[in-house]
Amino acid sequence: MTKDECKQVVLDIIADIAPDEDLSNVKPEVRLRDQLQLDSMDFLDIVMELRKRHGIEVPEADYMQLASLDSCAEYLTPKFNALAGKS
């Protein structure tokens, strides 16, 4: 998986959680919270959807890694690739 594909995975999840948000101009380097109305309930849902859909575990101590799309890609892409390598 490339980092761009990983960003798309995260965007797809946000689109399902918050269909009322406009995701067409999300800046990858800017914190998601600063450009979208996402609260702690929504971030918990992103974590739980990653686990449900993709088997990716994000421990609570790493939640800050999900702050922006760029940081999501840095943090999650290796996890996706490690998972793909195993199967």
Partner 1 sequence: MNSRRDYDVVIIGAGMSGLAAGIRLAHFGRKVCIFERHNAVGGLNGFYGIDGRRYDVGLHALTNFSRPGVRGTPLVKLLRQLRIDREEFALCEQRGSRIAFGPRGETELRFTNDFAVLESEVATRFPRQIDGFRALVAAVRAFDDVALDAPAVSARGVVRSHISDPLLEDMLFCPLMYYGSPTERDMDFGQFVIMFKALFLEGFARPLEGVRVILRVLLAKYRAAGGERRMKCGVRRIEARGGSAHALELDDGTEVTARHIISSIGAPETERLITGEVPVGGIATPPGRLSFVETITVFNREPASFGWGEDTIVFFNDSERFSYESPQAEVDTRSGVICLPNNFQYGPGKSLPEGLLRVTCLARPELWSALPDEEYRAAKRRWFAAVQESARRFLPSPGGAVAPEDAVVATDMFTPRTITRYTGHLGGAIYGSPVKNRHGRTALDNLYLCGTDQGFLGIIGAMLSGISMANLHVLQKETPKL
Which H or E run includes 18?
Answer: none
Query: By the criterion CB under 8 A, which residues form the site for partner 1?
Result: 16-20, 37, 39, 41-42, 44-45, 47-48, 51-52, 57-62
Partners of 68 in the beta sheet? 31
Closer residue to partner 1, CB minimum distance, 6 or 50? 50
Pairwise CA distance, residues 65 & 69, whole Å: 9
Closer residue to partner 1, CB minimum distance, 45 or 80? 45
CB of 51 to partner 1, least distance (A): 8
CB of 58 to partner 1, least distance (A): 7
Q: Three-class SS of residue 65?
A: helix
